[in-house]
Structure 1
């Protein structure tokens, strides 16, 4: 779990775009790279790999596919991942079949799903013919179907999942498809981080959850089902927690459950993080109060552009107050909002005092004698919305 972010405002250009937000990372591969991209933009990152990759250098199925392709070389090769293609060649070398495999693949037309696969193909001494701009298997399939594959023998290097849609579509179009399972996804050795991340998502203490592979999304949901929590997890992902996927293939397990998600135009980690950056403003609320501008983020608040880290109790109270901006919220209701509950209303007074100190602007929260507390909404902003709800865009910075 990575929690190393200092909530301090940047000078000049304002606070980092993801500061104040907690982002869950389910990736096993390239997780450090993704975490670093998020942390550089100010996010607190919770890492819980939902799967781990197991190479298959001694797998009988991989060996059989390799020998089949050596004996009857393919017309087309689809390389889906760099790590997978390299692992295939290395496994063949271990069996003494490395050169035979490359000789069988050399005359074939090699299609690469993305730049890492293309780099691995070229490193093996092969020549790649084409790669899709989207880096998606769907565009590879469309390209092949447009060109015609009837009677073609096609080797498809898998990347941890079966790719049934691609394989079945090619076979229906008349191709002879040989799948090459180079590695498999299996549950992590330690399931504890996954369970803790799931609990945090359900509790609302994670603002966004990132997925870089369909198996990771499916595994997270399956583990939640084992614990009897799948409905709660789905509800959280349909509601306050934003699901961010690297591409449409990754999003498929979520879409099957009608879980909304956002994706970049290109299936790249950097593009995914930039898409999250673009969505972050939609996850904030802003209020003119007590002569200040208050903005709520996931686990922090901005006061006049300065980021203020808030304790969980303070954040819970502030959210309760901003649900009805400008209106009085009674102590009993605020007590129910506090983490852990309890029956001592003095706990509310203590938490309010700490909240005021953390905000650095005590007048933002006004005491209403014998009634409770209210967010000191500036009267120039007009009356609070009917129903007491404030969503992003109801109040604008002057």
Structure 2
């Protein structure tokens, strides 16, 4: 259909599924992978954390993602016994940001003291800690990172008296082939998309990095500001807003299907003036 919305997604891990979802809802997809997840094979931070954990020097641990929790244990077990690590974890106060790390803890047989409710951001996690009347004052609190460090979260924990121990276990790099992303950036500047879709906070960071390399950062931001921007959830929304692109749509529940269906419907209504 000639009047179909043209949607650009920056999804990387589930490219085919994203393209199929966009097509299913009557839009024309462009999927430009923006990220590559790199586990830290030799992770000194994870090994230092494991040593402190086994020595009884970690009071609390906060798991922010399921994949990060698994990566942390995988890195730690290159030097230490899995059973000893899990027993030591189970002796700590354990908090999780959402359902995925909760499932991992259940698989490991590690109890969970606090679980953040939806939309599963660090703010809900802090509220859950406060609701549980858990004091971080004077305690060593390890935080499994999930990309770029969340300095606001750390500041709030420190305000509560915590000694924060960031534990980065994976980083987001640019894709090995940046051609599709470069093409999408140029197409955005040319006004060829009706909707830009973000499924991760790190995507906007990498898009802006490549746009800057191309000498098009300001032009891309201006063009994106004239385009309907959709965010999968609060964490991505916060990153987009920080970069001057407050989203036009965020689904009630941070799921890819909800994002695609809702964004296309709202963008179509907006274009039609309804």
TM-score (norm 2): 0.89
Shift in Å, 1:108: 2.3
**Residues 189 and 46 (structure 1), Cα distance of their counterparts in 2 relative to 1, 3 Å cut:** same
**Residues 250 and 24 (structure 1), Cα distance of their counterparts in 2 relative to 1, 3 Å cut:** same
Once the two structures are superposed, the pairs formed by residues 1-398 of structure 1 within 5 Å of their partners are 7=1, 20-129=4-113, 130-146=115-131, 147=133, 148-239=135-226, 241-261=227-247, 262-285=249-272, 392-393=273-274
Q: Which string of whole-angstrom CA distances, capped at 9 and with x for unpartnered residues, describes residues 309-360 of structure 1?
A: xxxxxxxxxxxxxxxxxxxxxxxxxxxxxxxxxxxxxxxxxxxxxxxxxxxx
Shift in Å, 1:144: 2.3
Which whole-Å CA distance do the structure 2 matches of 1:88 and 1:118 have between them? 15
Shift in Å, 1:280: 2.5
Structure 2, unmatched stretches of 5+, are none
Preserved CA contact (<8 Å) 2:5 2:264: no
Could you say what secondary structure the match of 2:164 adopts? strand
Shift in Å, 1:223: 1.5
Could you say what secondary structure the match of 2:186 adopts? helix
Which whole-Å CA distance do the structure 1 matches of 2:20 and 2:232 have between them? 16
Which whole-Å CA distance do the structure 1 matches of 2:51 and 2:13 have between them? 29
Preserved CA contact (<8 Å) 1:135 1:266: no
Higher helix share: 2
Could you say what secondary structure the match of 1:265 adopts? coil
Which whole-Å CA distance do the structure 2 matches of 1:55 and 1:189 have between them? 15
After superposition, the CA RMSD in angstroms is 2.2
Preserved CA contact (<8 Å) 1:112 1:118: yes
Shift in Å, 1:57: 3.0
Which whole-Å CA distance do the structure 1 matches of 2:16 and 2:89 have between them? 33
Structure 1, unmatched stretches of 5+, are 1-6, 9-18, 286-391, 394-398
Which whole-Å CA distance do the structure 2 matches of 1:206 and 1:85 have between them? 37
Which whole-Å CA distance do the structure 2 matches of 1:44 and 1:103 have between them? 51
Could you say what secondary structure the match of 2:212 adopts? helix
Preserved CA contact (<8 Å) 1:161 1:215: yes
Aligned length: 270
Which whole-Å CA distance do the structure 1 matches of 2:58 and 2:14 have between them? 31
Shift in Å, 1:284: 2.9
State the match for 1:332 in structure 2.
none
Preserved CA contact (<8 Å) 2:39 2:71: yes
Which whole-Å CA distance do the structure 2 matches of 1:244 and 1:22 have between them? 13
Query: Which structure 1 residue ranges, 4+ long, deviate > 6 Å from structure 2?
Result: none
Shift in Å, 1:271: 2.8
State the match for 1:349 in structure 2.
none
